[in-house]
Structure formats: C-alpha cells, structure tokens
A = this chain, B = another copy of it.
Amino acid sequence: MRSALTEESRVHQPASFSTWFAAARERSGLQVGRVELDGLRDWDRDPRTGTLRHRSGGFFAVGGLDVRFPSGPVPHWQQPIIHQPEAGILGLLAREFGGVLHFLMQAKAEPGNRNHLQLSPTVQATRSNYLRLHKGRAVPYLRYFQERSRHHVLADVLQSEQGAWFFRKRNRNIVLEVTEDIVAGEDFRWMTLGQIYRQLEAEDIVNMDTRTTLSCLPLAGAGGVPESGDGFPCALVRSCAGNPGAAHSMDELLSWITEHRAQDHLTTGPVPLGDMSDWRSSPERISHASGRFFSVIGVNVSAGTREVGGWSQPMIEPHGTGLIAVLVKEIDGVLHALMRASVEPGYVAGVELSPTVQCVPESYEVLPGAARPRFLDEVLSARPEQIRFSCLLSEEGGRFHHALNRYLVVEADGDAGFLEDPDHRWLTLHQISTLLRHSHYLNVQARSLVACLHSLLAPRTR
C-alpha cells in the first residue's frame, strides 16, 4: 500500500520515465508488415484440418472451434481460436528501496501494439521463448523465477486469458520479492506502484501482462490513508482492507459461482479452419461473413532488442474498439464492484467473473437483441462525474493486432440491490483479491480493471 501511495522514487535513475521510454522506443526499431497467411515463414497449414502451426511444434497454433451454448443468446457458432497449451510466465520482480517496494518494469515492443512499445513485467515469456525454441537470446531475469524458493513469493497463480480468442490458455502470474542487488538493464526500470499507476492513466502505455500481474498482488496495510471518513477514496481503502461490511459473504459468493459453473453448459469441439460456417478465407485473412468480430491475419516482424531479429506469425485482429466497464457503488461505506458470472469458449473450468460490461458495441448490429449486455446503455450514457477511470488500453500485443479497449470505472446510480440479477453480484476489492489467490475466478479483463481500481488509491488521481 505504501508503494501504491508513492509517486516519487528515491532510487537514482539516470533519466526521467519519458526520456527512458523514448530512448527504449528508439532502440527497439520494431517493423511490422502484413503478409499472406500462406506466406508465413516457419508456419504450415495442417493439410487435413487447416490448422496453422509453427514448424517447431511450439509457440501457438490457430485452429477452428465449434461452440455450443444452449442457454446463451447465440446457442451455436464456429470461430477460429488460438491454441497455446503451455503456461507462460508473467513475472514481476519487487525489491524494497528506502522502505518502499519497487517493481522492475520492462519497456517491451510487441508487434500487435499500435505504438509497439509498452510497459511490461520483468519477464513475459512463453515456455517456447524461455526454452529458446527460436534459438535466440536468453530471457533476462528469468532465473529468479526458476529459483523462486530463494526469494519471497508475493503471488504465484495460473490465470486464464481472453477466452474468446485463446483455447484454455493459462499464464503463470508471479510476483517475487528479492533482497539482493539487481542491475536494471537499459530497457528496465525500478518503479513504485504509484508510478506505474500514474502511467496506467496514460493511453496505451501499461500493457495487459503488467495489469494482470499487478492485479494478483495483494495490497497489504492501510499505508497511511485514513480508513474512516467519507467519500470515494475512503470507501475504496475500506474495500481493499478487508474490513467487515461486504454485501455478500464469501460462502454466498462461492455458492453463486458454483451454481453458474454447474448450470451454464458450454461445450466445444474442433472443426477444420477452412470449413467453419459463416467464415471466409482470402489469402490475407480469415474473416466473419458479417465483417464483425475479428480476423486472422499474418505479419512479418523485424526487431532490434527482441530475443530474435525477425519472425513471421499469425495474429488476431479485432474489428472495433471494445468497452470494458465495471459499475462501482458505495454500500454501507465500502466500495463494491458489480461482477458478472459468464463463460467464454476458451475457459478451462467454466464460468469466471467478468466486468459488468465487456463487449464490442458494434458487434450487436449482427447479434440477437438478447445478446446485448444489460448495463451497456447505462455505461455509454454515464455522466462525466460518474466516471472514476477511463483509459484506452491494449490487449496482449504478441497475439492480438491493435486490440484496443476502453476501460471504465463508473459509479452506478440507483439502488444497489436492484442492480443485482442472477448474473451480477457486488463484491468488495478484498473479496476479489481473495479470489485472485486462486486460478479461474476472474477473467483477464476483470483483472485489468482491478489494477485500474487499485490505481485510484494513488494520490494524484483522487
């Protein structure tokens, strides 16, 4: 908590954040160009299923998926999906300087980011990366996470990623506190939580992997902020602190999640990538006939500071900017977030908690009316004073091409009880943090919003 409230680090850094970040962008020299799907170097199509695979057998594959969801607004569809069965590492190193935890952040370029360079965790590596299937450079700082018993583990949990685009992908989110001296390489920088949170307010700087890793870090202690008192900041501190006053007990919440997991039956099976109903293939892309949702495209990448100098890969290119919003409300003096129980085709264990609203609004032009999220209009029409956080952020730039979402924290009008329905429940941030010690409770969009909510603890944003 003290780190969250500290925006000026006493660690000597040779340059300001913006100077350092601009220099890293200069060095990265990432070049990204489009290429036909059959022209991807080192990628083959399975002659029977059409699945796109890397010749090494590693990294990831793009195949077709048949989805049946009888109780959903669209009971049956087919779609391309990324298969990446190996758990990668999203690792963040922490170290105390002058009594304040600092985190070793990386300026890392990814081909799918509009601006290429973003602020990443210390290590962000697939298993194929760190086993060096690409025969490239070693991943810096990886050894700390491989010898983690020597250090203090603050968080270590497998979490899902986009269940609409990844089939059962999980990444290991680790935060490790070290006490020994570590030299920060030129693309790395020690930052307090408060400094990272400040960058989270800036458009498209803090990447998804940083957001999910930070969300799994429990915020301990009150850090000098008064827990009593009125207004949004105090209600937020009380929400994080685990005081009594939650609208529902953990037993009630766990039972509600179990009920949804037992009843919301979504089943999937493979389908050849070339035979998917409603999808069209051209040399450049695989797209939905409606023009909505997303396409599979191919890119050529050449890079300066990456483990390898250049490569080709398929990517998912979403159509339209998404909206990811959580309604929040003070209930008996404690801030609560309205979470939704929902299922996506790629989840490992069924229903997870997602934000109040998570969608690409223009997709509903071609979907049944019942698919439109209940609270979408409420979020779209929020008055400025209701909006506590608003920022355009990217999803993972290693797989998704220009996948931008507007993340919003909106104070809800009206009666808290009336806003609940079978799919929505109010949770405190402490309850969310308790769930985040375990896998498969909060989806990646919800975890991003948890980081955004925590960022509101920092003084500048209040």
Contact = CB atoms under 8 A, between A and B. Distances in A.
Contacts of A305: none
A74 interface: no
A254 B156 contact: yes
A440 B158 contact: no
Given A254-B156, A254-B157, A255-B148, A261 B349 contact: no
Contact of A348 (B89, B170, B349, B438): B349
A88 to B, nearest CB: 9
Interface in A145-188: 148, 153-154, 156-158, 170, 172
B349 A258 contact: no
A111 B251 CA distance: 35
A335 B437 CA distance: 25
Contact of A349 (B85, B153, B349): B349
10 contacts: A153-B251, A153-B252, A156-B259, A170-B262, A172-B262, A254-B437, A258-B439, A348-B349, A349-B440, A438-B438
Given A172-B262, A348-B349, A349-B349, A255 B158 contact: no
A125 interface: no
Number of copies: 2
Contacts of A157: 254, 258
Interface string A340-357: 000000001110000000
A87 interface: yes
A255 B440 contact: no
A243 interface: no
Interface in A71-90: 85-87, 89
Interface string A243-256: 00000001110110
Interface string A77-106: 000000001110100000000000000000
Given A153-B252, A267-B85, A172 B439 contact: no
B348 A158 contact: no
A255 B350 CA distance: 23
Contacts of A153: 251-252, 255
A101 to B, nearest CB: 16
